[in-house]
Structure formats: C-alpha cells, structure tokens
Amino acid sequence: MKITILIPFYNEEEMIEKTHQVLSKELKTMVEFEFELLYVNDGSSDHTLELMRKIAEQDERVKYLSFSRNFGKEAAMLAGFDHASGEAVIIMDGDLQNPPYLIKEMIAKYQEGYDVVNAKRSRDGERKTTSFFAKIFYKVANTMMDVELTDGVSDFRLLSRPAINAITSLREYNRFSKGLFSWIGFKETVIEYENELRQAGQTKWSFKKSLNYALDGILSFSNHPLRMIFGLGLTCIAIAGLYIIWLLFNYFSDPSQAVSGYFTTIFTIVFFGGVQLVSIGVLGEYIGKIFYEVKGRPHYIIEESNIKKGDQE
C-alpha cells in the first residue's frame, strides 16, 4: 500500500531539512507501508529549492515539483493532488507544526474505512487576537456558507483516492480548500492534537492575508451577501416609506412648518449613497470572481520537477 505525503514549501530554508529528517524518522516506524514524499516548492525566493533538490538526490522516495513563482498554498496543494501516486494522500505543513506522529493514527482511521481524516488542533500558544478573529470567522462563515467548517481543523489531513479524485475534478480558480474538502462529502472523521509552535522561519499569514482569505472563503461558498443586499434594499425602502408618510402627516397637521428638514435631506442622501456603494462593492466582488474564473488560466506553472511524464498512475 502506497501513501503519498504531500508538503508545500514556501521560503522554508530553515525548516525543510529538519522537516524531512523528522518525517523520515517517523516513517521508519511504519515499514508495512510504501511512502512517496511529494514536496512542492511554491516559488520560494530563498534556498528552499536547492535544499529540495539535494534531499531528492539522497532519498529516492522524494518527488518534487517547483513552481515558476509563488502561486499560493492552495495551488501547491492542488498540484500535489494532481501528481500524487499513492492510494491515499496526507497533506502536511512544511514547518513541523503538524506533528508527524499523527500519520500513524490517520492511516489507522483510513484503514477503518474513512475517506477523509481531519486533524484538529487546539489553539494553545496562539496569539490571542488570532484565535479571537478565527472564532469570529467560523461563526460568520458557518451561518453564511453552504458548507460546514470546524474551528481548528487545518489543512493537515488524509484523503483517500476517491476523495482526491473528487477534489482534483473541481478546477475552480478561487480555491478555498477548507470549503472544498467539506463540499465533496465522503465519510470523514476528526482526530485531535496539541498545537505546536513554529520552530524557525516566519509565518506567511499576515492579518491582511488572513482577512482576504476569510472573505474569499465566504464569497466562494455562498451567495448570501448578494441576498443580504436585497434584504437591505427592501428594509431601506420600507423605512423611507414610513418616513414619507410621517412627513406628509406633519405637513397636513401644520403646513406653516413646511420648509424644514435640511438635516434629514442630507442624512437620506448620505445613507442611501452608502447603501448603494456597499451593494455595488459586493456585486463587484462576485464579478471579480467571475472575471478570474472565465479566463480559465492554469492554477500553477511547474518550472522544474523530478517526476517524469508517465511516472504517475
């Protein structure tokens, strides 16, 4: 039985060798399986690729793909799924934040018949603000999105061959894996582990990047924001209607006071202007998504690899 371990690396020169070492040591305890180590270099600008080549030379289980530039972790994962030859794929981070000792447990669950095995981490040691915003995101996401997301479930997971085939058949450009993994269905389970802190190198997630990620997720998995605009418009019309009735009532009860309402005029203009701008913004977001989707560009471009054509399958 062959299992692919898929790891995306982006500027991980400080971690890649250590990760490979720790992983190899762990895999030695599982002699009953054959492993393929599929490393994806996501256009790193440091020495990650050189180290990757070196590792691949020393260890024949290592297959690598190298992108022509940084395409993002989603693209790196997709490339990995496209090129994996194992009957199951385990996807991990390249910074040892996903402890390799869980691999054994994941495979055991897979053998019990689960197609998707998720690893859920605690949020210990994480920055308070990060946990706080993550919590809000999951609350909002789960009320707005058409799929169910679990807090703390990272991309660290095992996928069976049928699940991988389902994932790779989804070629949408705006990829939000957390949603896609849930969307495909299949029998899934969760195992829990303690959060590990990054030992070296930098996280690639700034606040702005995380916020964009959250927005992308919500927008690509629901049309609720569009519907909200509709609701907002209706509410405004209702309020405006009541307001006009009230004005008319005032006018007829005391016509001498007719020329007043400077404040209310300005207020209505500004308020409705705001509502319109927000609405156009939401429409724009969706049109932007369509724009990228329609171009049908590839998700990634591979510049270098040690996988020969026809090597897979």
The residues that touch ligand UDP, with contacts defined as CB under 6 A, are 8-10, 12, 42, 70, 72-73, 76, 93-95, 97, 203-205
- Residue 205's closest CA among 52, 292, 69, 95? 95
Helix and strand element counts for the chain (H, E) = 10, 8
42 binds, among ligand UDP, Mg ion, none (CB under 5 to 8 A by kind): ligand UDP
Measured CA to CA, the distance from residue 213 to residue 86 in angstroms comes to 29
CB of 199 to Mg ion, least distance (A): 10
CB of 96 to Mg ion, least distance (A): 8
CA angle 157, 88, 29 (to 5 degrees): 80
Q: What are phi and psi of 126, to 5 degrees?
A: -85, 155
Measured CA to CA, the distance from residue 234 to residue 228 in angstroms comes to 10
Q: Which residues bind Mg ion (CB under 5 A)?
A: 93, 95, 97
Q: Which is nearer to Mg ion, 204 or 289 (CB)?
A: 204
Q: Which is nearer to Mg ion, 200 or 301 (CB)?
A: 200
CB of 154 to Mg ion, least distance (A): 9
74 binds, among ligand UDP, Mg ion, none (CB under 5 to 8 A by kind): none
85 binds, among Mg ion, ligand UDP, none (CB under 5 to 8 A by kind): none
- Residue 137's closest CA among 124, 126, 146, 150? 150
CB of 78 to ligand UDP, least distance (A): 11
- DSSP-derived secondary structure letter, 79: H
Bridge-partner residues for 191, per DSSP?
Answer: 119
CB of 201 to ligand UDP, least distance (A): 8
Q: Which is nearer to ligand UDP, 73 or 109 (CB)?
A: 73
80-to-125, 127, 167 alpha-carbon distances in Å: 30, 30, 11
CA 138 to mean position of chain CA atoms: 12
Q: Which is nearer to ligand UDP, 76 or 117 (CB)?
A: 76
* 97 CB-near residues (< 8 Å, 6+ apart): 195, 196, 197, 198
Length of the chain: 313
CB of 95 to Mg ion, least distance (A): 4
Q: Which is nearer to ligand UDP, 104 or 204 (CB)?
A: 204
39 binds, among ligand UDP, Mg ion, none (CB under 5 to 8 A by kind): none
User: Helix or strand or coil: residue 158?
Assistant: strand
73 binds, among Mg ion, ligand UDP, none (CB under 5 to 8 A by kind): ligand UDP
Q: Is 222 exposed, middle or buried (0-12, 13-18, 19+ CB in 10 A)?
A: middle
141 binds, among Mg ion, ligand UDP, none (CB under 5 to 8 A by kind): none
72 binds, among Mg ion, ligand UDP, none (CB under 5 to 8 A by kind): ligand UDP
Q: Which is nearer to ligand UDP, 138 or 286 (CB)?
A: 138
CB of 97 to ligand UDP, least distance (A): 5
Q: Which is nearer to ligand UDP, 209 or 227 (CB)?
A: 209
Q: Which is nearer to ligand UDP, 15 or 229 (CB)?
A: 15
Measured CA to CA, the distance from residue 281 to residue 18 in angstroms comes to 45
